[in-house]
């Protein structure tokens, strides 16, 4: 899925008004699996000055970069972080609130991975790294029109629109609310531009 969708849907599923202090870990957990990719793109574009085709058809698939992307998309690593945070919180009460932050961050990472798993054809990640190199090749893509991308993108946009009201009520900061409206607007424009032209 697209990064803003992950943030909005994860907030809707994991966030509660009674624990709005967990909004930040949920937001960062939803962003984390895609952060390496943004770093990679910024480096390839601005530092190495590659063209789009080289970036996405060659360098993106190099084993080194694939491993970098897989670290942030690993369900076992997120579960491990969750387990350690839970254990520390049980054992040392003073670390309990910090542990909760890690648990929500990791839960959001896992939710991101579970949402991506069925929606990538040949650009998916090794979600079970380092335990397994298995890479699920889905018949359905979140973007590629040759693999039902137009339908999936419409479903994704609809879910985001449905989630936007509970998320709006959840957000405390004016900046985040503005970002929410901006992202939904951009996604709508991107959908129309990409699929309805
Ligand atoms: Zn992702």
d(CA 123, ligand 1 centre) in Å? 10
d(CA 138, ligand 1 centre) in Å? 14
Q: Give the model's pLDDT for residue 149.
A: 82
Q: Which residues of 72-100 are buried (b: 16+ CB within 10 A; e: fewer)?
A: bbbbebbeebbeebbeebeeeeeeeeebb
Residue carrying structure tokens 């895609």: 34
d(CA 3, ligand 1 centre) in Å? 6
d(CA 94, ligand 1 centre) in Å? 33
Q: Give the model's pLDDT for residue 182.
A: 96
> What are residue 81's phi and psi, to 5 degrees?
-60, -40
* pLDDT tens-digit readout, 99-134: 999 999 999 999 999 999 988 888 788 998 889 888
Domain range annotation of the chain: 3-195
d(CA 47, ligand 1 centre) in Å? 24
d(CA 30, ligand 1 centre) in Å? 8
Q: Considering only CA atoms, which of 67, 157, 76, 138 is closest in space to residue 109?
A: 76
d(CA 33, ligand 1 centre) in Å? 6
d(CA 111, ligand 1 centre) in Å? 10
Q: pTM to 2 decimals?
A: 0.91
d(CA 113, ligand 1 centre) in Å? 7
- DSSP of 40-80: HHHIIIIIS---HHHHHHTGGGSHHHHHHHHHHT-HHHHHH
pLDDT in tens, the chain (197 residues): 999 999 999 999 999 999 999 999 999 999 999 998 999 999 999 999 999 999 988 999 999 999 999 999 999 999 999 999 999 999 999 999 999 999 999 999 999 999 999 888 887 889 988 898 888 888 888 888 888 888 989 999 999 999 999 999 999 999 999 999 999 999 999 989 888 87
d(CA 34, ligand 1 centre) in Å? 5
d(CA 116, ligand 1 centre) in Å? 6
């Amino acid at each position: 899925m697209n990064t803003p969708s992950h943030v909005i849907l994860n907030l809707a599923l994991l966030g509660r008004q009674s624990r709005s202090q967990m909004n930040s870990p949920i937001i960062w957990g939803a962003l984390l699996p895609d952060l390496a990719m943004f770093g990679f793109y910024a480096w390839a574009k601005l530092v190495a000055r590659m063209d789009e085709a080289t970036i996405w058809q060659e360098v993106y698939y190099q084993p080194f970069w694939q491993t970098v992307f897989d670290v942030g998309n690993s369900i076992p690593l997120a579960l491990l972080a969750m387990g350690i945070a839970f254990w520390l919180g049980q054992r040392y009460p003073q670390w309990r609130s910090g542990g909760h932050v890690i648990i929500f961050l990791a839960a959001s990472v896992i939710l991101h991975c579970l949402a991506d798993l069925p929606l990538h054809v040949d650009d998916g990640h090794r979600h079970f790294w380092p335990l397994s190199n298995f890479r699920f090749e889905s018949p359905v893509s979140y973007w590629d029109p040759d693999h039902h991308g137009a339908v999936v993108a419409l479903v994704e946009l609809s879910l985001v629109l449905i989630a936007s009201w509970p998320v709006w009520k959840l957000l405390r900061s004016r900046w985040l609310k503005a970002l929410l409206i901006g992202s939904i607007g951009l996604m709508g424009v991107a959908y129309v531009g990409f699929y309805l032209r």
